[in-house]
Amino acid sequence: MVLYRLPNHNDLLGRVIAFTLLALSCLIVDENLRPVTYAPKLPSEVLDFNGDYVLIAESSGYENYRHQKGGLKDENVIVFMYDDIAFDKNNFRPGVIINKPNGDDIYEGDYTGHHVNVNIFYAVILGNKSALTGGSGKVVDSGPNDHIFIYYTDHGGLGVLVMPNGEYVYANDLNNVLKKKHAAKAYKSMVFYHEACESGSIFEGLFPDNFEIYATTASNATEASYATYCPNGAPKVEYNTCLGDLYSISWLEDGDKHDLRKETLQKQYEVVQRRTEKGDGFSPLGSHVKQYGDKRLSNECLHSYMGTNPANDNDTSVEYASSPSTQMVVNQRDANLLHFWHKYYKAPAGSHEKLEAQKQLHEEISLRKHVDYSINHIGELLFGNGSSSKVLETVRPSGQPIVDDWNCFKILVSTYEKYCGSLSKYGTQYLRAIANLCNAGVTMEQMVTASTQTCS
C-alpha cells in the first residue's frame, strides 16, 4: 500500500493517497544476478512528496518473489509486510531486501507478521485507528479532496484475495469497505489496480459505477493471471524464481517510461491490455485485463494518482517491449512449481540443496493431488458421478457476482479447510466449485459430512 501526497497545485490535485498491496516472499538476493528489465520503483518515487507512502506486503514464500514491488522514500513509508524475507536462509545478503537484481535495500515494516491481516487492512483503508491491534498505528487519513490509488498484487481466487494470516479478503467485504469510504466522503476519486488470478471476480456484479472509483484487473473473473521474468531452465540463469507479474510489470514499466502528465489511465489500460493479453509478445500465454467502475475517470492523466518522473517530461514515445532474453511466462499457480523444479535442477547432484528441493517439489505435487481429489470427491458425494462436474464447473454470466449468499460461501470454504486442510494458492482455482455448492443449495451440514468422508 503506497500513500503519498502530490505537491498542491492550486488545490486542483489535492492530496494523492496510493496503496500498493503486495505479496513479498523469501527471496534469494544474489549480488551477481544479471540485470533484468524490471520497473524498480513507482514514478512518484523520484518526486519530492510531503505525504506518506504505505506498502502492504502480504504473502510469504520465496516462490512468490515476483509479487514484490516498492522502492519508496523511507521517510514517507508505512509498510505492511509478512517479514519472512530479510533473514531467510536463502537470502545471500542477510537483512537486505531488494525488488530488482542489484537493487537498493527496501527493508522496513510498520505492520509485520500476524499484523498483516484482513482486519488491520480494512482499518487502515478506513482510517480507523481504534480498530488497530498493533503495528505503528498509521492509517489512511483522507478527505474529500484526495485522490486515492490502490495497487494490490497477491495470490487470489474467485471472489477472494489471499492473506498470510487469518481469513481471506472476500470480494463483498472489500466492496463494502470501499462503499464506507465513499459514504464518509473520504476521497475525491479512487483508482484500483489489482493483480491476482480471477481478479475480475472481486468487482464483477458488485462494483458500483457511480462512486468515483475506477478499477483495472490483471484478468477477468474466469482465468488465471501470469508471472513473468521467470527462469527458463538455462544453467546461466542465476535466479530460480519469477521476478514479476505480467500485468504489474506492464503498468509499472509503462509508468517508469512515459510522461504521466500527458498519459491517461485509458491509454495505460490499452498498453497494459495488449502486452498482458499477448504474453508480452514472447508467449502464447496471457490474460484479459478488464475495467470496472466509473470509467469516466479513465480520461484523467496518471500523474493525479502516481505522480510523474521529471526525467520523462516531454517524452513522446508510445510503447516499448522487454528483451525476449528475459522472458518466460507461466500461470501464477504454477510459478512455485517452476521455482522448486528449477531449484532442484540447479542444485549439485547428491547435495543437501538437491534433496531439499526434491522434497519441496514432491510435497507441492502431493498437495495438488490432494486438493484435486478432495474437491472432486466432495462433488461426487453431493451430486453423484454424473452431475458433479456440471455443478462444480458452472460459470455464471458476465455481470453477475460469483455467489448469491456470501455468508454460505465463507462457511463452506472454512468447512473444507477445517476438515481437508488449506486450499493453498494452487487450490484457490476451486473456489468457483465451492461457490457453486452454495448456489446449488448445499448446507454446512452436508459439506461437513462430505468433507469428513473425503479427508478423514
Three cell numbers, residue 382: 453431493
3-state secondary structure (DSSP) of residue 442? coil
Q: CA distances (Å), 78 to each of 52, 54, 107, 131, 303, in order? A: 7, 4, 12, 17, 21
Cα 435 to its chain centre, rounded Å, is 21
Three cell numbers, residue 341: 523444479
**CB within 8 Å of 111: residues ≥ 6 apart:** 56, 78, 79, 80, 81, 120, 124, 134, 135, 136
> SS3 string of 358-388?
HHHHHHHHHHHHHHHHHHHHHHHHHHCCCCH
Under 8 Å between Cβ of 64 and 98: no
Under 8 Å between Cβ of 58 and 162: yes
Under 8 Å between Cβ of 107 and 81: no
Q: CA distances (Å), 397 to each of 204, 386, 413, in order? A: 10, 23, 22
Helix (H) or strand (E) run with residue 454 in it? helix 444-455
Give the phi and the psi of residue 129 in degrees, each rounded to 5. -65, -30
Residue 197 falls in the annotated catalytic set: yes
CA–CA dist 284, 274 (Å, integer): 13
Among 115, 147, 155, 258, the one annotated catalytic: 155
3-state secondary structure (DSSP) of residue 312? helix
Positive or negative, the CA dihedral 238, 240, 245, 248 is: negative
Helix (H) or strand (E) run with residue 277 in it? helix 265-277
**CB within 8 Å of 85: residues ≥ 6 apart:** 24, 25, 26, 27, 62, 91, 97, 107
CA–CA dist 207, 190 (Å, integer): 13
CB count within 10 Å of CB 112 equals 18
CA–CA dist 261, 378 (Å, integer): 54
Q: Grid cell 472432486 — which residue?
A: 376
Residue 455 falls in the annotated catalytic set: no
Three cell numbers, residue 396: 455464471
* DSSP conformational letter for 264: B
Among 197, 230, 420, 438, the one annotated catalytic: 197
Task: Just list the catalytic residues.
Answer: 155, 197
